[in-house]
Chain A
């Protein structure tokens, strides 16, 4: 078990270094002088701040320094929590802008992930049991899984928002309201939350259901299932074992899917103009705000790594094989 954790820690540590390095490296592969390009692009919006911006970027990028020093400076800044300054929202620090958006993204992601995982696995387990349900659930599940996240979001926005008018289709709360701790504001927040959440939930749901269905069928074919059946164990016990064992790869799958679901959350937010990280990414791209973009994405990467690590530790608790040090899960 200790070996397992040590291995995990090594992999995640390495991944973190690689991710940060990529984040540092890619902008430096951009053709031309990045500072000039950034300032030129931003200049249209903030003509009055050009001088201070140029000065600031030159300092941050430190392009006159040797390359290894640039790299070390980047790490130093990162550990201070300094992700730079936004161009678009100048002079707001990127970390502040990102932290303000995080609750919205987590607010749709966490419920969507947890609920889709629970409901999807239950539906999948039921489908493995009934031919009728299987024939319905399987094709529907595959089609839902095959849907681009933003398309389902568009359909929901159009159907429940524009056509039926049940839910608002843009923003995190009504533009006329000021955020405050009141019931009416909370209700408004909830109304804006429904469609983005539903969109994310549905796409993820199909995948879990299908995964569970396939895994259970394989588990039911396995040797221990056959042995139990030969010894007269009732179907209930065999299914219970199969479900339990099929959950293990699903938990590993959850860790592996986090990045994908997060990508889905980003584009879903864009459709609904939901003020989370996805919207931030879009604004950063449209406004050529590379500091904001980099900061947001770095934050996202770290979030995914941490979540993965947590899931791996949970996995140790549920799979005895990792405790005996004979096999690994994700990594």
Chain B
């Protein structure tokens, strides 16, 4: 019976657009069970030979490096009125300048940093909350499961983006980490559900019973027996949360509810639209930030498909 509803409960679809509630493009079908540990080298072997994983990783790492070491080579700060206004891309200003003569490239590089920070923190917070609730609910069962399940369902149906707008508008979110924290708080439910159903299916396997009979503590069982079976799944989940947080943050920044003390890619688009970059034809102002986000998030998604093929041998032949 568990098998049959594993599909529905895991939500394997990668639904549309998916700011706050992207779902993994994997069916966490318990049937695709993986061997516990021992084949890390094999996994790596396949990962390094999977073009989807490779291309995705290269793009993401390239942008990450640009964000990390880029600022060291910049002549201007993001908000400096550095050059002539509305200048198209040139040697001095590779991405041109804004209507005020700010260096778009400098803004882009600074924006990349916020983007990765939001992805990492927001995805991290959501992953921790979702996995904890999912593990506990699936492992403990009973009343605790009922309550956590109810909580998950409530947060799942509330449109998180709307609540984020309210929070940011009233409480004023000043920093990127705060923004990431709030995003994380509203994007964990699908993770909890997926992890819960995975835990349920793993819990019923023999090795867990064996561990339990031998009198080992719950934490140890989770860490030693359940988690290793789910590492691949959890990793892919984090990848999707990372991308989802970035998209949500970009939307908030675009409405003007982003952090006030940092540059971000969403904020760049906000300013470009606000200062009529469209009508003035300043394409170099609004194309890079959106393209950056699209490439980073898109690469993550494609990487995820590749990882699915790596972790799930059934798909390798496809």
Contact = CB atoms under 8 A, between A and B. Distances in A.
Interface of A: 11-12, 14-15, 18-19, 22-23, 26-27, 29-30, 116, 120, 138-139, 142-143, 145-152, 154-155, 157-158, 161-163, 169, 203-208, 210-212, 214-215, 217-218, 221, 245, 248-250, 252-264, 266-267, 270-271, 281-282, 285-286, 290, 293-294, 297, 300-301, 304-305, 308, 319, 321, 326-331
B238 interface: no
A190 to B, nearest CB: 22
Contacts of B11: 249, 252-253, 256
A138 B256 CA distance: 33
Given A253-B11, A285-B256, A263 B170 contact: no
Per DSSP, chain A at the interface is helix
When A and B form their complex, which 6 residue pairs have the shortest distance between CB atoms, in order from nearest?
A: A207-B16, A151-B290, A259-B159, A146-B298, A211-B13, A263-B161
Most buried by A among B287, B291, B301: B301
Given A271-B273, A294-B166, A157 B157 contact: no
B198 to A, nearest CB: 15
Given A256-B190, A259-B162, A208 B305 contact: no
B54 interface: no
A120 B16 CA distance: 9
B158 A211 contact: no
A331 B157 contact: yes
Given A142-B302, A249-B8, A293 B157 contact: no
Contacts of A211: 13-16, 23, 25
B137 to A, nearest CB: 14
Contact of A157 (B4, B190, B278, B294): B278
A300 B154 CA distance: 16
A285 B290 contact: no
A19 B19 contact: no
Given A145-B17, A261-B16, A331-B157, A221 B314 contact: yes
B138 to A, nearest CB: 15
A142 B305 contact: yes
B150 to A, nearest CB: 7
B167 A205 contact: no
A263 B293 contact: no
Given A146-B294, A267-B251, A207 B27 contact: no
Given A253-B11, A262-B159, A327-B4, A267 B298 contact: no
Contact of A14 (B15, B150, B167, B171): B150
Given A148-B254, A331-B153, A249 B166 contact: no
Contacts of B1: 326
B165 A297 contact: yes
Given A169-B278, A285-B255, A260 B16 contact: yes
B16 A249 contact: no
Interface string B254-276: 11110000000010010011000
Interface of B: 1, 4-5, 7-9, 11-21, 23, 25-27, 29, 150, 153-154, 156-163, 165-167, 169-171, 190, 243, 247-248, 250-251, 254-257, 266, 269, 272-273, 278-279, 281, 283, 286-287, 289-291, 293-298, 300-302, 305, 314-315, 318
B13 A146 contact: no
B255 A282 contact: yes
Contacts of B254: 148, 150, 267, 270
Contacts of B27: 214-215, 218
Contacts of B291: 151
Given A285-B255, A321-B4, A203 B23 contact: no
A327 B8 contact: yes
Nearest to B270: A150
B162 A257 contact: no
A215 B29 CA distance: 11
A98 to B, nearest CB: 13
B157 A304 contact: yes
Contacts of B278: 154, 157-158, 161-162, 169
Given A12-B157, A145-B16, A331-B157, A26 B171 contact: yes
Given A26-B166, A146-B243, A270-B255, A260 B250 contact: no
B5 A327 contact: yes
A23 B49 CA distance: 50
B298 A15 contact: no
18 contacts: A30-B171, A146-B243, A146-B297, A148-B269, A150-B273, A151-B291, A154-B286, A154-B290, A207-B18, A208-B16, A211-B25, A253-B13, A256-B23, A259-B161, A262-B159, A282-B255, A285-B169, A321-B4
Contacts of B15: 207-208, 211, 253-254, 256-257, 260
Contact of A210 (B19, B25, B251, B300): B25
A204 B13 CA distance: 13
Contacts of A145: 14, 16-18, 298, 301
